């Protein structure tokens, strides 16, 4: 059932076609048995009190009577509701052109009305670090993700990591103004797998396009035999790209993780991770995804792969039936990366 929570924004609609967003500071159930409810609202003009008699409460809204004749409806607030019923507010305070999500509504209204949500919570915050944790594995889909701050009522939704950082920083600076005696560090706790990293780096580069143009220069089979890695960065990237295609799609899915193919694959990654991809060879959407989600994590990703690479006892004669070292099996799936803004 829908219920009102203190320290939250809600749309307020009277049947007489009066609309406004309200910030509920306090909810006071009147224990009279008559469905009476008191609300304390924070407005630009100070504290406002409302006395309501609840008529109907569904899963999504509350309908109540105020006074003798006015019927009001309160439900979850959203940008569509603001655009439909509070166009003057949006005209005076234009929205940004970035994608907008439910968690952005409260931040927008707090800025417009100069409120500070849960001010008591923010005033009592004394830590020097704010950690944002994601509600799921951030790299599993192209849909937007949600990050929740630890110990603070801050939620950020965005399409990629670059936007997360910008939005998180904006919110922290708004709700926690800088203090001369304390610098607050903001970090994201991110779950990332080895495959996430290697695939993202490989597919930012269109190896097919380069391979078609310079076919004689790229011979991965010969590279495995000679174990001599070429110096040209684009040729290295093409080998890395073609190995990724083989290991994850075209027949090499069962190659042992401590065998020669994976040894070469990780070696090439460490050599090309910081190399720029020329514009003609950028793999369109894949490059953009890498740029906004992985490029800011380059140092952390390189450190993770280097640690895994150094920790493995490789066996170039290993086959798909050869069990990998126990250490590899335990560590290859997910690692946690903390990234400070």
CA 40 to chain CA mean position, Å: 34
> So what's the pLDDT on residue 40?
92
More confident residue, 130 or 340: 130
pLDDT tens profile 21-79: 988 889 999 888 788 999 998 877 778 899 999 999 998 899 999 877 789 999 988 99
Q: Which two tokens stand for residue 218?
A: 């790229």
Alpha-carbon distance of 243 to 201, in angstroms, equals 12
Q: What is the mean pLDDT of residues 101-114?
A: 85
> If DSSP codes are grouped into helix, strand and coil, which group holds residue 258?
coil
> If DSSP codes are grouped into helix, strand and coil, which group holds residue 335?
strand
Q: What is the mean pLDDT of residues 256-270?
A: 90
> So what's the pLDDT on residue 53?
92
| Summary mean pLDDT of the chain | 82
Alpha-carbon distance of 183 to 168, in angstroms, equals 15
Q: What share of the chain has pLDDT > 90, as a percent? A: 24
Give CA separation, 280 vs 176, 277, 283, 284, in Å: 44, 8, 9, 10
What burial letters (b/e) apply to 279-297, b meaning 16+ CB within 10 Å? Answer: eebbbeebbebbbbbbbbb
> If DSSP codes are grouped into helix, strand and coil, which group holds residue 337?
strand
Is residue 62 classed exposed, middle or buried when 0-12, 13-18 and 19+ CB atoms within 10 A define those classes? buried
Q: Is the pLDDT of residue 278 over 90?
A: yes
Q: Is the pLDDT of residue 141 over 70?
A: no
Give CA separation, 158 vs 118, 153, 275, 320, in Å: 23, 17, 27, 40
Q: Indicate the pLDDT class of residue 277, thresholds 50, 70 and 90.
A: very high
Q: What are phi and psi of 51, to 5 degrees?
A: -115, 120
Give CA separation, 297 vs 201, 280, 294, 300, 301, in Å: 12, 24, 5, 5, 6
Q: Is the pLDDT of residue 10 over 60?
A: yes
Q: Indicate the pLDDT class of residue 117, thresholds 50, 70 and 90.
A: low
Q: Is the pLDDT of residue 120 over 70?
A: no
Q: Is the pLDDT of residue 324 over 50?
A: yes
Give pTM, 2 decimals. Answer: 0.75
Q: Is the pLDDT of residue 330 over 50?
A: no
Q: What share of the chain has pLDDT > 70, as a percent? A: 84
Q: What is the mean pLDDT of residues 229-248?
A: 89
> So what's the pLDDT on residue 327?
45
């Amino acid at each position: 059932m829908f219920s009102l929570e203190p320290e939250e924004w809600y749309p307020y609609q009277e049947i007489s076609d009066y609309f406004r967003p309200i910030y509920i500071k306090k909810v006071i159930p009147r224990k009279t048995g008559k469905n009476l409810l008191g609300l304390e609202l924070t407005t630009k003009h100070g504290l406002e009190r409302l006395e309501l008699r609840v008529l109907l409460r569904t899963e999504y809204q509350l309908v109540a009577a105020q006074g003798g004749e006015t019927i009001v409806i309160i439900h979850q607030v959203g940008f569509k509701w603001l655009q439909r019923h509070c166009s003057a507010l949006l005209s005076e305070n234009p929205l940004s052109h970035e994608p907008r999500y439910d968690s952005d509504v409260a931040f927008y209204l707090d800025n417009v009305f100069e409120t500070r949500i849960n001010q008591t919570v923010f005033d009592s915050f004394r830590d020097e670090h704010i950690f944002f944790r994601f509600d799921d594995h951030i790299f599993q889909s192209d849909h937007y993700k949600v990050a929740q701050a630890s110990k603070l009522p801050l939620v950020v939704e965005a399409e990629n990591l670059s936007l997360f950082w910008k939005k998180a920083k904006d919110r922290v600076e708004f709700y926690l103004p800088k203090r001369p005696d304390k610098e607050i560090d903001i970090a994201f706790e991110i779950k990332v797998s080895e495959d996430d990293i290697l695939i993202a780096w490989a597919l930012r580069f269109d190896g097919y396009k380069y391979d078609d143009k310079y076919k004689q220069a790229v011979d991965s089979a010969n590279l495995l035999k000679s174990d001599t890695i070429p110096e040209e960065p684009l040729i290295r990237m093409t080998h890395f790209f073609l190995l990724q295609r083989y290991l994850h799609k075209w027949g090499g899915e069962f190659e042992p993780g401590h065998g020669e193919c994976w040894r070469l694959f990780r070696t090439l990654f460490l050599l090309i991770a910081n190399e720029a991809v020329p514009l003609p060879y950028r793999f369109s959407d894949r490059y953009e995804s890498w740029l906004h989600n992985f490029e800011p994590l380059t140092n952390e990703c390189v450190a993770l792969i280097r640690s895994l690479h150094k920790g493995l006892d490789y066996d170039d004669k290993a086959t798909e039936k050869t069990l990998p070292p126990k250490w590899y099996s335990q560590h290859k799936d997910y690692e946690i990366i903390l990234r400070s803004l």
